[in-house]
């Protein structure tokens, strides 16, 4: 990171940010193109390892790219505040962001998918125990993003 004075390494600060935000953007490589898609997420932090979960259809560009090349980038941003100035060059902004890379995998078993969806729904709705029919679970793709690199920055 070029501006080490803006780097955040405190787990509690990163956790508070991740807990508050709801949308992450996943960047896929698509044969010379970049495809970025916003998704709702949930995450876990176990043994100093961040893992994100999101869901989607079992068809379409996101699904196909995840199957073809599971290496992705991701980004989460928030806490934006415009800082006004007297001239255009004096304007700035406060913000916080997380960027990183990782590897996607599709959860296959009903139990794994339920656990991933519970983490996602806890983030989205604040509730930790849900009932899903086997049919509903079977009809959805649940993605696990195992983080390789993650950095957090704020101004």
Task: Indicate whether 95 belongs to any domain.
Answer: yes
Residues 6+ apart with CB under 8 A from 106: 66, 67, 141, 142, 143, 144
Q: Is residue 74 part of a domain?
A: yes
User: Has residue 51 been placed in a domain?
Assistant: yes
pLDDT per residue, tens digit, the chain (155 aa), is 556 666 788 899 999 999 999 999 999 999 999 999 999 999 999 999 999 999 999 999 999 999 999 999 999 998 777 888 888 888 877 788 999 999 999 999 999 999 999 999 999 888 878 899 999 999 999 999 999 999 998 88
Beta strands (DSSP E) in 15-125 are: 23-30, 33-40, 42-46, 49-56, 71-83, 92-106
pTM beyond cutoff 0.75: yes
CATH assignment at residue 113:
2.30.110.10
Residue 155 falls inside a structural domain: no
Rounded CA separation 87/92 (Å):
11
Provide the number of structural domains found in the chain: 1
Domain containing 140: what range?
4-150
Residue 37 in domain = yes
Query: Are the beta carbons of 154 and 8 closer than 8 angstroms?
Result: yes
CB 95 within 8 A of CB 74: no
Residue 55 lies in a domain: yes
* Of the candidates 45, 103, 39, the residue with the CA atom closest to the CA atom of residue 75: 39
Query: CA nearest 74: which of 18, 27, 32?
Result: 27
């Amino acid at each position: 990171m070029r501006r080490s004075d803006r780097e955040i390494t405190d787990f509690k600060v990163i956790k508070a940010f991740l807990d508050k935000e709801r949308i992450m953007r996943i960047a896929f490589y698509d044969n010379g193109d970049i495809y970025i898609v916003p998704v709702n997420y949930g995450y876990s932090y176990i043994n100093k390892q961040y893992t994100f979960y999101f869901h989607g259809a079992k068809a379409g560009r996101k699904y196909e790219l995840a199957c073809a090349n599971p290496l992705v980038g991701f980004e989460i941003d928030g806490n934006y505040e415009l800082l006004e100035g007297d001239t255009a060059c004096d304007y700035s902004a406060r913000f916080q962001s997380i960027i990183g890379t990782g590897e996607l995998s599709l959860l296959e078993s009903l139990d794994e998918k339920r656990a991933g969806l519970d983490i996602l729904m806890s983030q989205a709705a604040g509730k930790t125990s849900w009932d899903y029919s086997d049919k509903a679970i079977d009809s959805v793709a649940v993605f696990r993003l195992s983080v390789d690199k993650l950095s957090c920055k704020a101004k």
